[in-house]
Amino acid sequence: MNWRKIFLILGIIFILTGVFLPRDWYDAVPKSEADLTWIRQPDDSTETTRKPPPIKGVTLLQISFVIEGLAFLWFGLKRRTYTPLSADRRLLIATEENKLDFGSASFWLITAVTVLSFALRLFHLGSELWLDEITTIFFYSPMPTLHVLTGFVSANNHLLNTLLMKLAIAFFGEQEWAVRLPAAIFGAATIPVFYWVSRLMLSQRSSLFAALLLAVSYHHIFFSQNVRGYSMQLFFTTLSCGLFVKGLQQDRLRIWVLYVAAMFFNMASLLNSSFVFAAHILIGAAALVIIKRRGDSPFPLLYRLIGVFGVTAFLIFQLYATFIPQAYVYAQTTWSDPASGYSPFSMEFAAEMIRGISAGFGTSLIFLAFPFAAAVAVVGFFVLFKRNWILTASLVLPIILTVAYLILNRLNVAPRFLLIAFPIAILVTIQGIDSVAQFIAQKINRTPNTLAAKLATAVVLLGCIVSLASLRRYYSVPKQPYRTSLAYIEAQRKPGEIILAVHHMENGYRFYAKEFNLKEDEDFFPVRSVKMLDSILAAHDGRGAYLVTTLRRGLHLTHPDLEARIVQDWEVVQTFPATVGDAEVSVWRQRQSGLFEK
């Protein structure tokens, strides 16, 4: 096969595509939620007028095609072959992967752990959807695939997950388990990838325990049963970090190609994966300094990294070319909204972190052990950093960059932004337990290696048992009880009584109303302001009403007057718990109506 001719032909095609690409289609691409004609827009609100972006997305797409065409022409005109760098021009990285403990048995052990993880992620996969999942379905299920790929409506479009969700709906219908299936599959697939990456710095026994801890993790199961891109981001982040280390270590073309693909899909999973890419660029720069200081030439590796990072950055740019202008405008008007997260230095954020972490252990009493756990993690971090600083930095630096970006730009932070800390948290914990167990065993002076292994095994298995125990509540309590609260109301509601879905209850009840044969504006009514509440009550005077609320913090921050009116005139008759923070659903009745009994 004559690759040079193929590259020349592709170069001409891409240049012509970039120059003559039609532009009219771009005008039909949704640019904001107001363009989603299948979503009911608020009747009494005015959307903040956004300034037009400095350049159209279709223009950036055309530019990317021309650049890509020129690159193909360059490859077609230049005769180049890939030659791996010699050892003195690579970064020498020692790994633990060749130190075997169990031989071929490890394959069956990690297979068993992966099967267990898949079973835990499939169990109760069809439980009730919560707001962000429902919003994703409402926004993107009816949207043409071209518009999903080219239009930035909101940050809810986790691109890879959105496309797989649409595919799942096409095959299985709009069912809870179907829309969550892609996230569950990637969640389970992360287990063997995590084991492989762990082997770069941990023994085989410790790597198996790390994989087991991730497999039974409450938090990883939570995000693996979520119609979002988080489980996919963890999969590709873990994979890309391992490939990056192997690339620096071996400099094989196959590894670098896989790295580019992994980072591309990582960015397609979630936009904040850009911090992972930025971390790898910084680590690559540090590697060049190390090579220079040891007396070797850093330029061959520099050229290699420029090529790898350049191709990756260009493919990412091309993927999001049409998104970039609208995302720029969106970031200026939306991501600073207090309701979108927490101030990183606030007690609210600390309380939410404590609530979220303790949920995975069934009780907040786990924080009594926090000083010990922190000390173990610090020990594990320093051991791992000394053993394989590149992989450790690849997993830690994205978290630091994320937090720094949010703080410097005075943006709010949500705990899910820090989910990429999960792999390194498990690794430093496992290594810390091993190191402490080894220290204790040596002090006791009884066959230290055997005793240390037994102590570490006991502690890790205890952690797995605690995490598994916490899953009992997770499986029995929905993420957000829209259907549960509707079933309760329908069991209590008398003929003619109406349901008032306040603020974030609107889309949830709109999604589940069809199961109860309820019609919008007849049986249930969205309420977004005091004016709407008064108008609906006046139109149905004397008919009795149930009012439902959720995510009270968001209601308080965005509609404080509406919340004050509800608290003044209504009282809670039933509250249904949720596993998502602040997502419990409260059912209210009017105090003066006398239509209910406690």
**Please, which residues bridge with residue 499 across strands?**
524, 546
Give CA–CA dist 478/222, Å, rounded. 11
Give CA–CA dist 429/120, Å, rounded. 22
pLDDT the model gives residue 346 = 76
pLDDT the model gives residue 103 = 67
- The answer to whether the beta carbons of residues 431 and 206 sit under 8 Å apart is yes
pLDDT the model gives residue 594 = 44
Give CA–CA dist 312/321, Å, rounded. 14
Q: Is residue 598 part of a domain?
A: no
Q: Is residue 288 part of a domain?
A: yes
pLDDT the model gives residue 391 = 95
Give CA–CA dist 143/458, Å, rounded. 51
Q: Is residue 574 part of a domain?
A: yes
Local structure of residue 52 (DSSP, 8 states): P
Do 440 and 490 fall within a single domain? no
pTM for the full predicted model: 0.92
- The answer to whether the beta carbons of residues 35 and 153 sit under 8 Å apart is yes
Closest to 424 (Cα-Cα) out of 108, 592, 198: 198
Report the domain count for the chain.
Answer: 3
CA distances from 311 to 193, 318, 352, 410 (A): 24, 11, 39, 32
Range of the domain at 56: 3-77
Give CA–CA dist 142/247, Å, rounded. 41
**Please, which residues bridge with residue 500 across strands?**
525, 547
Do 163 and 275 fall within a single domain? yes
- The answer to whether the beta carbons of residues 237 and 423 sit under 8 Å apart is yes
Condensed to tens digits (0 to 9), the pLDDT of residues 4-57 reads 888 888 899 999 999 999 988 888 888 877 778 878 776 654 455 566 777 888
Do 469 and 363 fall within a single domain? yes
Residue type, 254: R
pLDDT the model gives residue 244 = 97
- The answer to whether the beta carbons of residues 508 and 131 sit under 8 Å apart is yes
Do 446 and 347 fall within a single domain? yes
pLDDT the model gives residue 595 = 45
Give CA–CA dist 342/406, Å, rounded. 11
- Count Cβ atoms below 10 Å from residue 78 Cβ, excluding itself: 9
Residue type, 156: N
Closest to 239 (Cα-Cα) out of 263, 208, 203: 263
Q: Is residue 391 part of a domain?
A: yes
Low-confidence ranges of the chain (pLDDT < 70): 1, 42-51, 97-103, 331-340, 360-370, 445-446, 593-598
Q: How crowded is the C-beta side of 133, counted as CA atoms within 13 Å?
A: 33
Query: Quick one: which H or E segment has residue 209?
Result: helix 204-215
Do 147 and 12 fall within a single domain? no
3-state secondary structure 138-191: HHHCCCCHHHHHHCCCCCCCCHHHHHHHHHHHHHHCCCHHHHHHHHHHHHHHHH
State the Cα torsion 220-224-226-231 to the nearest 10°. 90
Do 64 and 98 fall within a single domain? no
CA 448 from centre of chain:
41
Give CA–CA dist 270/236, Å, rounded. 10
pLDDT the model gives residue 42 = 66
3-state secondary structure 59-91: HHHHHHHHHHHHHHHHHHHCCCCCCCCCHHHCC
pLDDT the model gives residue 46 = 45
The pair of three-digit structure tokens given for residue 264, joined into one six-digit string: 């591309």
Condensed to tens digits (0 to 9), the pLDDT of residues 426-440 reads 999 999 999 998 888
CA 571 from centre of chain:
36
Give CA–CA dist 598/249, Å, rounded. 68
pLDDT the model gives residue 339 = 63
Q: Is residue 276 part of a domain?
A: yes
pLDDT the model gives residue 365 = 54
Do 416 and 339 fall within a single domain? yes
Do 237 and 106 fall within a single domain? yes
Q: At which of 34, 51, 77 does a domain end? A: 77
Do 97 and 227 fall within a single domain? yes
pLDDT the model gives residue 372 = 80
Q: At which of 476, 494, 526 does a domain end? A: 476
Q: Is residue 167 part of a domain?
A: yes
Q: Is residue 518 part of a domain?
A: yes
Residues in the chain, how many?
Answer: 598
Do 493 and 440 fall within a single domain? no
Do 488 and 583 fall within a single domain? yes
Do 50 and 127 fall within a single domain? no
Q: Is residue 356 part of a domain?
A: yes
Compute the Cα dihedral for 26, 328, 551, 133 and give only its sign: positive
- The answer to whether the beta carbons of residues 401 and 277 sit under 8 Å apart is no
Q: At which of 77, 108, 123 does a domain end? A: 77
The pair of three-digit structure tokens given for residue 8, joined into one six-digit string: 């020349």
